[in-house]
Amino acid sequence: MVSAYGSPVRADRDGDGSGGMTSPQPAPPLEGGGQHDHWLVVPLYGDARTAEVLLHRLQGLLAAGFGVVVVDNTCDSAAALHQLSSSAGGHRCRSIGNGNRGGIAGGFNRGITAAMAAGATIITLLDQDSSLDACSLRWLREPLERHPGARLLVGPRIWDQRRACWHQPAKQRWRGYPRTRLLISSGTTFATGQWSVLGPLDEALFIDFVDHAWCFRAQAAGFVLLQHPQARLDQQFGEPHPHGFCRLLGLELYSPQRHYYSLRNLRWLLRQGWVPLDLRCKEMVKMLVKPWLWLLFEPHRRANARAVIAALRAPLPAAPGVAGPLARWAARR
């Protein structure tokens, strides 16, 4: 997913994102059933080797008592599913095949359904190229336990592995927690009791801007988005851009297919009334500039040109099907 936290802030990995240092904090005490009701949902796209690397990274969380649902999003799920069953096993680690139906949004949705069926009351979404430790997961659930009646989405601070910097921290506050308008999907944590109001991720978007749309829809339904300062997620965003000017602008290198979804989905997002006006204006400027950078400074220029033309001509996704008050709000638009 593309970062939604704004400009990166150069800092030490143990800093606070503003050049200062934060003292290590102990994980909060566990409430109720501990972390056994806390599950992670991880869509997987790749071969058996990709699955092996992912499962190795998840072993510590399984050992700590967290549950994991791995959603195999490859077109041929047999290899990764076999890798999962042979390497992890146990009732705390489950796998389902999805065949890339609905992209990363579909993977998350199917995984959330499976985790809820397994008894999850708290769910954390995780990309396959992200990592969270058990301590951070406990911090992510802490606001949900402290304010059980509030509509909350809680995310971590983001450490950009490639740039070696923190992403811009949130500046507003909600009951002492940093409050933001955008969270990337990876690391986002919520209580399953709010799922019927929160609603699924929009599978028509497939991949790019899925997290943006979900966050804005959630806020339209009364959710507050928090960025917990003690929870840390390591994330790899794209590939290093080959052109120095684009690196200076903070661009990563993505495939022509990703450019297609990014531009098509941005066209759709700009038409949604629940997106804040200032962010729509900001993204409009990006939409006018970025395609020219793809065409001028990236490899595969013909493929990028075809992707841009297809994205500008493609029919836009239909309005998402969402539950609860937001569905009634959307029906009036």
pLDDT tens string 130-187: 999 999 999 999 999 999 989 999 999 999 877 777 877 788 999 999 999 999 999 9
More confident: 11 or 198: 198
Instruction: Return the higher-pLDDT residue of 1 and 240.
Output: 240
Is 33-235 a CATH 3.90.550.60 domain? yes
Span 252-278, pLDDT tens digits? 899 999 999 999 999 999 999 899 999
Contact call for residues 152 and 168 (beta carbons, < 8 A): no
Q: What's the predicted TM-score (pTM) here? A: 0.84
Round the average pLDDT of the chain to a whole number and report it: 83
Cα 158 to its chain centre, rounded Å, is: 11
Can you give the residue ranges of every domain in the chain? 33-235, 239-313
Q: State mean pLDDT over 235-255.
A: 87
Closest to 210 in 3D by CA, of 62, 52, 102: 102
pLDDT for position 322: 39
- pLDDT at residue 221 tops 50: yes
Specify the DSSP class assigned to residue 112.
H
Closest to 206 measured CA to CA, from 302, 311, 287, 124: 311
pLDDT band at 50 (very low <50, low <70, confident <90, very high): confident
pLDDT interval class at 23 (50, 70, 90)? very low
